[in-house]
Structure 1
C-alpha cells in the first residue's frame, strides 16, 4: 500500500525553497547598494534611507512599465515616476539593476503569493499540475509588460535566470515529495524540474510575443506535455534505466490498427 501524500507538507517544502531562493536574489541585488556599517549611526540611517527610496522608485517603475511597455528607457521611466534620470542612477547602477529590483518586487507581491496559494491547496496530482501551469500563464497574461521587463528575454538581465531558478526549486521539491511518497526514485528530480519549468517559460515567452491563441488553449497544451511526461516517469518508478530498457510504446497509426 502506497504511503498517503500530505499536500500541505509538500507545499511547505516547495514554498520554502522558493522563498529561500527569492531571499538569495534579494541579497544579491541589495547587497552592493546597502551595507550595514556597525558603529556609524548616521551612515546606517543613510543606508536605510537608500533602501526605502530604492523601494519607492522600484514600485514607481512597475507602474511605469505597465503603462509605457517593457522597452521603456530610463528617461521615460524617470519622467513617469516624477524624478530625473540622475536620481534613478543614484540608486540603481543601470537598467539591469533596476530590472532586477523590479523582479524581486514582482516575485514577492504577485508570483510567490499565487504559487503559495496553489501549493497549499489539497489538490490531486493532475489538478496540481494543471493549476500551477494555469496560474503561471494567467498571471503573465494579466501583466505582460512587467513580465517581459523582469523575467522576459528582452530585459537583458540575469534576474530572469534567478526567477527561473526559484520556480525550478519549488517544482523540484514538489516532485521529490510526491514521487518519494510513491516509493519512486527521485534522483532525476532536478533534471525533470528544470525541463518542466524551462518548457513552460519558453512556451509562455513564445506566446507572449504573438498571443495567437487563448490562454486556455496554451494551458491545455502545456498540461498535456507535462502530465504525460510525469506519468511516464511514475510508470517506470522514476528509473531511467528501466525506461530505456522498456520505453512505453507509441500507439500504432490508424491504418496499422485495422
Structure 2
C-alpha cells in the first residue's frame, strides 16, 4: 500500500513539474513571438526557452498544439482584464466601454502574439476554445442581467458570441492597420457594442441602463459601464 502512495506521489510531482515546464515554454513562446513576429518558428521558440526543438516537442505534439497553448494564455489574460473592467461599479454603458478598452489595451501589450492568434492557421484556430470560453462567460453575465430585468435570457448566448466575433475581427484589424489610435478604436467599438446590445434589449422591452447603480449604491450589477441610454 505504501508503495502505491509513493508511486502516486511521484506521479503527482511529475505532473506538477510537467505543467510548470509547459507554462515556462508558453511564456518563452510569447517572448519569441513578441520579438520576432507571428511567423516565428518552433526552433526560435526553443532557442528562447533554452532547450532543443525535440525537447519542446516532448511537451507539445506539434506547432498547432503549442499555438493552442499560447491561445489559452491569451484567453486567460483577456478574460481577467475584461471581466475585471466589466464588473466595476459604474453605469452600464461605461462598463461596456471599459471592457472594450481593457481588451484593446491587453492585445496592444503583446501585438505580435495576438496577431498570430487571430490569423488563420492550417492546424486550426488556436483561439477556438478561448473564444468559446469568453463567450460563455459573457453569456452568463448577460443572462444574469436580462433575468434581473425580466427580459429574455435566451438572447444572452447569441449576443455574447456576436460580441466575441466582433471584438476578434476589430482587434485583428487594429493590430494590422493602426489607422487610428487605440483610444479611438476602443471608443468606436464600445459605442457599436453598446448600441447593439441596448438596442436589441429595447426591442424586447428591456432597458440596460436600469442596471446602473443608484447614487451611493456600490452593489455590482451584472452588465455595465456607461452613462445613460
Q: TM-score, normalised by structure 2?
A: 0.78
The answer to whether the aligner puts 1:86 opposite 2:79 as a matched pair is: no
The answer to whether the aligner puts 1:72 opposite 2:5 as a matched pair is: no
Which region of structure 1 is more displaced relative to structure 2, 227-236 or 132-141? 227-236
CA contact 1:148–1:154 (8 Å) conserved in 2: no
CA contact 1:75–1:85 (8 Å) conserved in 2: yes
The corresponding residue for 1:145 is 112
The count of aligned residue pairs is: 201
Q: What CA distance in whole angstroms lies between the structure 1 residues aligned with 2:158 and 2:80?
A: 25
3-state SS, counterpart of residue 130 of structure 1: helix
3-state SS, counterpart of residue 184 of structure 1: coil
The corresponding residue for 2:64 is 96
The corresponding residue for 2:193 is 226
RMSD: 2.3
Q: What CA distance in whole angstroms lies between the structure 1 residues aligned with 2:107 and 2:7?
A: 44
CA contact 1:152–1:205 (8 Å) conserved in 2: yes
**How far off its partner does 1:61 sit?**
1.5
**How far off its partner does 1:128 sit?**
0.9
Q: What CA distance in whole angstroms lies between the structure 2 residues aligned with 1:63 and 1:102?
A: 11
Unaligned 5+ segments in structure 2 are 207-229
Unaligned 5+ segments in structure 1 are 1-36, 240-258
The answer to whether the aligner puts 1:50 opposite 2:18 as a matched pair is: yes
**How far off its partner does 1:55 sit?**
2.1
Q: What CA distance in whole angstroms lies between the structure 2 residues aligned with 1:130 and 1:191?
A: 20
Cα gap change, 1:187 to 1:46, in 2 (>3 Å): closer
3-state SS, counterpart of residue 58 of structure 2: helix
Which region of structure 1 is more displaced relative to structure 2, 138-147 or 127-136? 138-147
3-state SS, counterpart of residue 136 of structure 2: helix
Which region of structure 1 is more displaced relative to structure 2, 190-199 or 97-106? 97-106
Cα deviations by residue, 1:139-162 (Å, 9 ceiling, x for unpaired): 11221112123x312455433111
CA contact 1:183–1:237 (8 Å) conserved in 2: no
The corresponding residue for 2:30 is 62
Cα gap change, 1:193 to 1:47, in 2 (>3 Å): closer
Q: What CA distance in whole angstroms lies between the structure 1 residues aligned with 2:99 and 2:56?
A: 36
Alignment of 1:21-60 (within 5 A): 40-41=7-8, 42-60=10-28
3-state SS, counterpart of residue 231 of structure 1: helix
The corresponding residue for 1:14 is none
Q: TM-score, normalised by structure 1?
A: 0.70
